[in-house]
Amino acid sequence: MEGRVFVVGLGLIGGSLALCIKKEHKKASIIGFDINSEHARLAKMLGVIDSIAETVHEGALNADLIIIAAPVKETEAIIDQLSSLPLNPNVIITDTGSTKEKIVEKAICLQKQGYTFIGGHPMAGSHKSGVSAAKEILFENAFYLFTPGENIDESKVEELKDWLIGTRAKFLTISPKSHDYLTGIVSHFPHIVAASIVRQTEKLAKSDHLISRLAAGGFRDITRIASSSPEMWKDILLHNREVLIELLNQWQEEMNLMKDLLVKENSEEIYDYFYQAKQFRDGLPSKEKGAIPAFYDLFVDVPDYPGVISEITGFLAKETISITNIRILETREEEIYGVLVISLQTEQDRQRAENCIAKYTSYSTSIGL
């Protein structure tokens, strides 16, 4: 496809979408804008975009596709701005936000001007942020949800899919209301739970400093989504407040059930509670990307001697395997082996890393379950 694509917001998502479009549609021209001009300059330098727009107005005029890759609160303001501009009458405008009902409702102002808005949500992310972390494979095999409002021509949805075919994502079209309900369950609510566990642990740690030390390792892993952007999650939660209030009410019932089982010392039902949770969790797809970015960690048992980390990273570099993070779990006193945790970008990279370490060393490896 040929034409002008305008990307508003040059972070991880906006940058990765730009790369996917550039790869698949080589005749397309990619214009970018970011409220932080340094981000825009970096995107241009890295070849993520072809040119920089100094304002939203400048970039939007004559664009065939406008992608708003900004936080949901900012997206609403950008939609208002676009609705007052003399845009290409055939333009398609989409966003990438994690909530959809209020965004699609806000976009009615665009429809009144004759423009097409199709809500979008690429359900992918990374350990890293910013345009420097953008990559073409970010959305591969991930779900990409489209939430067109009423009276949107199906041909326009298909045209948007054509523009985004380079993502290699799994496209699904659902209503804005269904989107917010589903993502509330599998993404927004788990973030609340993770943050709540961390907050409770923080309060308890004030009276016993050993808690903070013991909370390393596995505790950090199961609560890692609590490290997400507070500003972003404030806006997401407020946008999806009705769904989340209902889910929190259900969660209170669930916790009251467990509390009751403990009060009654009902060992059989406690066992059954965990057994059913295990059965459902173990049955979830392990090779597919979901609403929360997967973490591809490899655990390596390494001897505790100087240079062992550079030794391992050297072997990975020799096999051109990129890592996103590396750390050592705290070990027991007098333990001669430590656990090196290597985070990779994809499941394929983790498998390659495991094979690489087996090839060059005798260290045992395992993956998180």
Is 287 within a domain? no
In this predicted structure, what is the pLDDT of residue 117? 98
DSSP 105-132: HHTHHHHHTT-EEEEEEE----SS-SGG
Is 289 within a domain? no
Residues 156 and 188 in one domain: no
Is 219 within a domain? yes
In this predicted structure, what is the pLDDT of residue 307? 83
Tokens 């102002």 map to which residue? 109
Is 48 within a domain? yes
Q: Over the stretch 147-197, which tens digit does the pLDDT of each residue have?
A: 998 889 999 999 999 999 999 999 999 999 999 999 999 999 999 999 999
Residues 25 and 129 in one domain: yes
* 254-264 mean pLDDT: 97
* 16-38 mean pLDDT: 96
CATH of residue 335's domain is 3.30.70.260
Q: Report yes or no: 226 and 195 within 8 Å, Cβ to Cβ.
A: yes
Please count the CA atoms within 13 angstroms of the CA of 54 that sit on its side-chain side.
0
Residue 334: pLDDT band by 50, 70, 90 thresholds?
Answer: very low
**Cα angle 177-182-184, degrees, rounded to a multiple of 5:** 95
Residue at which a domain ends, from 122, 142, 174: 174
Residue at which a domain ends, from 247, 282, 317: 282
Average pLDDT, the chain: 90
CATH of residue 196's domain is 1.10.3660.10
Residues 245 and 302 in one domain: no
Question: Whole-model pTM?
Answer: 0.82
pLDDT at 79 over 60: yes
Rounded CA-CA distance 288/12 in Å is 20
Sign of CA dihedral 166, 171, 173, 179: negative
Is 166 within a domain? yes
Rounded CA-CA distance 147/164 in Å is 15
Residues 234 and 260 in one domain: yes
CATH of residue 45's domain is 3.40.50.720
Sign of CA dihedral 89, 95, 100, 103: negative
pLDDT at 126 over 80: no
pLDDT at 27 over 60: yes
Domain containing 233: what range? 179-282
Residues 119 and 262 in one domain: no
Residues 145 and 42 in one domain: yes
Residues 215 and 67 in one domain: no
pLDDT at 230 over 70: yes
Is 290 within a domain? no
Collapsing DSSP states into helix, strand and coil, what is residue 201? helix
Residues 16 and 158 in one domain: yes
In this predicted structure, what is the pLDDT of residue 220? 81
Number of domains making up the chain: 3
Residues 189 and 267 in one domain: yes
Residues 166 and 17 in one domain: yes
Residues 76 and 121 in one domain: yes
Per-residue CA distances from 183 to 163, 216, 299 (Å): 24, 29, 30
Residue 332: pLDDT band by 50, 70, 90 thresholds?
Answer: very low
pLDDT at 14 over 80: yes
Is 288 within a domain? no
Residues 352 and 254 in one domain: no
For residue 143, which amino acid is it?
Answer: F
Q: Which residues contact 123 (CB under 8 A, 6 or more apart)?
A: 142, 143, 144, 145, 183, 187, 289, 290, 291
Residue at which a domain ends, from 253, 282, 311: 282
Q: Which residues contact 101 (CB under 8 A, 6 or more apart)?
A: 176, 177, 179, 180, 239, 240
